């Protein structure tokens, strides 16, 4: 579905990402985990065509992706960030806007918006203004907006990290349910190994802009690691 070969990203003479190979198969959810500043968001932005790597090549559905990414390819992906970036509109219009841009009919838009707001438990907020929502509600609306686009690849950059523990737990459960029913191909960045364990099939650990370990969450916790990776994982094993 998506592949990155030997990606490096250098800005202002600083190497942010170094020689990264990554692949994402249809229907899987792959996690990216690592300490602050390890390059998770940078890698996500490159995979989502928001930044251009200094070297390396991206492939989307088997085709190499040109430096200037064509709109039809960009429209196949959706992104949710840590802070929900809702527009100053009502909830309905926030979810509908991407569908309007894509030229869907009014009836189809209504159907999809209702469906996804329902899936994330916020249909009762349809007519509310985005600015009046709590952080948890806003993040649910952001997820509904992303899923409504029915993207080929979904990118989630720490979608729960601004939420309190019970809110986060509830949203994680709902998201796991949606993944189970849709098999949406996803890249999930999280600080929290619990998110990774519950939501992903496979995880890559990033340290200083490099992929230092890869496997399923239980495999990584079980298998012996060295140095900085061991120290990073020990924090979650305890």
The option from Mg ion, ligand ATP, none interacting with 36 (CB < 5 to 8 A, set by class) reads ligand ATP
Interface positions with Mg ion (CB under 5 A)? 40-41
The option from Mg ion, ligand ATP, none interacting with 34 (CB < 5 to 8 A, set by class) reads ligand ATP
- From the CB of 94, what's the least distance to ligand ATP, in Å? 24
Interface positions with ligand ATP (CB under 6 A)? 11-12, 16, 34, 36-42
Closest CA to 136 of 147, 154, 122, 119: 122
For residues 151 and 159, which CB has a smaller minimum distance to Mg ion in the complex?
159
The option from Mg ion, ligand ATP, none interacting with 168 (CB < 5 to 8 A, set by class) reads none
- From the CB of 221, what's the least distance to Mg ion, in Å? 22
> Helices 165-182 and 135-148, interaxial angle, to 10°?
10
For residues 76 and 191, which CB has a smaller minimum distance to ligand ATP in the complex?
191
For residues 49 and 116, which CB has a smaller minimum distance to Mg ion in the complex?
49
List the beta bridge partners of residue 3: 23, 59
Closest CA to 156 of 169, 132, 175: 175
For residues 131 and 231, which CB has a smaller minimum distance to ligand ATP in the complex?
231
């Amino acid at each position: 579905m998506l592949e990155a070969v030997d990606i490096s990203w250098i800005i202002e003479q600083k190497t942010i990402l170094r020689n990264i190979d990554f692949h994402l198969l249809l229907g899987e959810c792959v996690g990216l985990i690592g300490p602050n500043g390890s390059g998770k968001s940078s890698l996500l932005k490159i995979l989502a065509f928001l930044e251009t790597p200094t070297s390396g090549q991206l492939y989307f559905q088997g085709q190499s992706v040109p430096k200037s990414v064509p709109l039809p390819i960009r429209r196949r992906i959706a992104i949710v960030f840590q802070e929900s970036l809702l527009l100053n509109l009502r909830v309905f219009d926030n979810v509908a806007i991407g569908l309007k841009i894509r030229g869907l009919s009014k009836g189809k838009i209504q159907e999809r918006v209702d469906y996804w707001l329902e899936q994330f438990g916020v249909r009762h907020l349809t007519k509310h203004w985005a600015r009046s929502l709590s952080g948890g509600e806003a993040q649910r609306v952001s997820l509904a907006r992303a899923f409504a686009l029915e993207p080929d690849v979904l990118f989630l950059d720490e979608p729960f990290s601004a939420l309190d523990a019970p809110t986060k737990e509830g949203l994680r459960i709902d998201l796991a349910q949606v993944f189970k029913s849709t098999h949406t191909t996803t890249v999930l960045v999280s600080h929290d190994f619990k998110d990774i364990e519950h939501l992903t099939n496979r995880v890559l650990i990033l340290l200083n802009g490099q992929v230092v370990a890869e496997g399923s969450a239980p495999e990584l916790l079980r298998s012996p690691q060295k140095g900085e990776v061991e120290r990073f994982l020990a924090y979650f094993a305890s």
